[in-house]
């Protein structure tokens, strides 16, 4: 307990929250308390808040630590497995009911459980969302996360395509940011490239959000993906990339050692050339040479 609040209250999540809900709440707090977003006079308080929030997140995001915490504070007497099962049953009920009855809370609940559903149920869920968008366009804004989940899970349905073709105006920069972060954790080069290509498609429909595609486009290159996000960004909005953005990317590339990852380094050097061609005003800063370290006395050669 901290100031009379348990960790669930600190993060603002229910005591039966699943990991996805806990991660979402933590990310929200991180963004709200970022030093670039709070007034200078409030930065120290923001740091203190984040210390408490991070402490709560460190426990609740770890299955074993969370179980020990719950037992110590008499929280969540029921089985976590049974909690998941009950939400799976609820999700099945939601996708079977009339579209007119589906609520925003229903969709938020499905978001928390989508990773646990069998592939066939996931497909049925995403198809239901497509039908919902067609019958109730005002609900499209609540299907954005599920559309990105569809891509991350590599489910063979068309919710993402339906959303960007018919209601891409409901996609916010926060959703793009989170999708870009999620792609980093995707396993398999081909699957990862598919997701970056989907981001490139989205960028073509939402060039007004271009600045939020800069980091994912650099991450695409550093991860060795041969997809089209960076090239699409350079075609549509190269002016959105700043010198500071470029400097940070160059630092990442310089950290890729030629001896160990020559192909990856060569690929990123090519990407740097693309950027410099699109932005001739940029200057590539020189590589910092490491200062040679003097050997400890016993290993020095005799004068």
Q: Which residue has the tokens 């009379």?
A: 4
What is the distance between the alpha carbons of residues 150 and 125, in angstroms, rounded to a whole number? Answer: 10
Nearest to 161 by CA among 170, 177, 148, 176: 148
In the chain, list all ranges with CATH 1.10.287.110.
7-75
What is the distance between the alpha carbons of residues 7 and 13, in angstroms, rounded to a whole number? Answer: 9
Using left for φ > 0, alpha for ψ between -120 and 50, and beta otherwise, residue 288 falls in beta
pLDDT of residue 14: 85
pLDDT of residue 74: 65
Instruction: Tell me if 150 sits within 8 A of 179, measured CB to CB.
Output: no
State CA 254 to chain mean position distance. 25
pLDDT of residue 130: 97
Is 1.10.260.40 the CATH classification of the domain at 7-75? no
pLDDT of residue 1: 45
Q: Which residue has the tokens 């500071």?
A: 244
Nearest to 11 by CA among 66, 91, 79, 67: 66
pLDDT in single tens digits along all 303 residues of the chain? 455 578 989 999 888 788 888 998 998 888 888 777 778 888 888 888 888 999 999 999 887 788 788 777 766 555 566 677 778 888 999 999 999 999 999 999 999 899 889 899 999 999 999 999 999 999 999 999 999 999 999 999 999 999 999 999 999 999 999 999 999 999 999 999 999 999 999 999 999 999 999 999 999 999 999 999 999 999 999 999 999 999 999 999 999 988 889 999 999 999 999 999 999 999 998 877 666 666 565 555 555
Instruction: Tell me if 253 sits within 8 A of 297, measured CB to CB.
Output: no
Tokens of 200: 């490139």
- Indicate the pTM of the whole model: 0.74
Identify the DSSP state of 17: -
């Amino acid at each position: 307990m901290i100031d009379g609040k348990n960790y669930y209250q600190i993060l603002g999540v229910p005591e039966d929250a699943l990991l996805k809900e806990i991660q979402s709440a933590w990310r929200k707090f991180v963004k709200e308390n970022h030093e670039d977003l709070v007034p200078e006079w409030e930065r120290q308080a923001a740091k203190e808040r984040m210390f408490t929030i991070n402490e709560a997140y460190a426990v609740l995001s770890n299955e074993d630590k969370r179980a020990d915490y719950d037992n110590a504070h008499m929280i969540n007497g029921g089985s976590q497995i049974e909690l998941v099962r009950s939400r799976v049953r609820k999700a099945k009920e939601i996708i079977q009911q009339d579209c007119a009855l589906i609520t925003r809370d229903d969709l938020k609940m499905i978001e928390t459980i989508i990773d646990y559903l069998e592939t066939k149920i996931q497909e049925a869920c995403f198809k239901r969302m497509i039908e919902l968008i067609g019958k109730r366009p005002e609900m499209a804004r609540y299907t954005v996360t599920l559309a990105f989940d569809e891509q991350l899970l590599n489910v063979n349905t068309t919710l993402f395509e339906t959303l960007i073709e018919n209601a891409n105006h409901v996609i916010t920069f926060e959703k793009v940011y989170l999708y870009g972060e999620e792609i980093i954790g995707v396993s398999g080069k081909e699957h990862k490239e598919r997701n970056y290509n989907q981001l490139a498609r989205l960028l073509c429909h939402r060039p007004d959000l271009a600045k939020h595609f800069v980091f994912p486009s650099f991450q695409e290159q550093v991860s060795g993906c041969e997809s089209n996000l960076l090239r699409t960004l350079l075609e549509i909005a190269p002016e959105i990339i700043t010198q500071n953005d470029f400097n940070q990317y160059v630092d990442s590339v310089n950290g890729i050692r030629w001896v160990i990852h020559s192909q990856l380094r060569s690929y990123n050097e090519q990407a740097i050339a693309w950027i410099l061609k699109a932005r001739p005003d940029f200057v590539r800063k020189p590589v910092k040479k490491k200062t040679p370290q003097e050997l400890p006395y016993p290993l020095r050669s005799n004068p």
